[in-house]
Structure 1
Amino acid sequence: MGAVRRPGAYVCGIDAAMDVIGGRWKVLILWALDERPFRFGELRRQVPGVTEKVLTSHLRELEQDGIVHREVYDEVPPRVEYSLTPRGVALNEALAPLGAWGRENVFPGAEADAAPS
């Protein structure tokens, strides 16, 4: 759990965190999974514009980093659900102030219709 991609190369905690959430779609994946667990197709619909290949890649990386849990159910047809681990929940809590800053400073007036960060 928690594979480090650049051992010893981090300058500070923000550098390490950005390595985990870097990429165009990862924060949106985390935001969607904050609501509830999703199956792959549901998650793809929650993150409009992401390709299947990129979503698969990001989910694997987040799973390797201990942020996302992949649950495979022994059913026919097979069912897989993705959810946040406690580490993922903590990461979303850390990102919430950043989302609030974005709503207040970049996209004023969106507070009323913005979803939680």
Structure 2
Amino acid sequence: MEKKCESLFVNVDQKSYPCAVSFVMDLIGGRWKGVILCHLKNGDKRFGELKKDLSFITETTLSIQLRQLERDQLITRTVFGTKPPVKVVYSLSDLGLSFIPLLDHINDWGKMILKDKKGT
């Protein structure tokens, strides 16, 4: 059965999207969101752990991306304690967990393309 990319212009949070693909790419698009989600798929992490794992991302960029992922409800941010230093833990939300199979397929597809490019 053929699936078409339907154009259905939908408005979400004062943004207009021409189709569902556009909406999803707004949620997970950009250079680092998928990478962050990939690092959280194996369990909760503190900011420092993510920063160590993703040393190639600046602290500011990581912080911005985490805020956007939290805003879009792909991750949750849990604060433990009330007095500094507080413990902040990031984890995948139910929505974020539902994205993992797609993320795994994207990763596999990327590896396949990279393997082909190395051969040429």
**TM-score w.r.t. structure 1 length?**
0.80
Deviation at 1:53, TM superposition (A): 0.5
Contiguous gaps of at least 5 residues in structure 2: 1-11
Aligned mate of 1:74, from 73, 81, 84:
81
Q: Deviations over 1:63-103 (max 9, x none)?
A: 00000100000165310000000100111222221111111
**More strand per residue: 1 or 2?**
2
- Any residues of structure 2 matched to 1:27-66 within 5 Å, and which? 27-66=34-73
Report the counterpart of residue 97 of structure 1 in structure 2: 105
Higher relative contact order (CA 8 A, sep 6+): 1
**TM-score w.r.t. structure 2 length?**
0.78
Number of equivalent positions: 104
Identical counterparts, % of pairs:
37
DSSP 3-state at the match of 1:107: helix
Give the alignment's Cα RMSD to 1 decimal. Answer: 1.7
**Cα distance 1:10–1:43, how it changes in 2: closer, same or farther (>3 A)?**
same
Q: Separation in 2 of the partners of 1:103 and 1:44? A: 24
Contiguous gaps of at least 5 residues in structure 1: 109-117
Verify: 1:88 aligned to 2:96, yes or no.
yes
Deviation at 1:6, TM superposition (A): 5.5
Aligned mate of 2:19, from 12, 24, 31:
12
Q: Separation in 2 of the partners of 1:17 and 1:37? A: 23
The higher radius of gyration belongs to 2
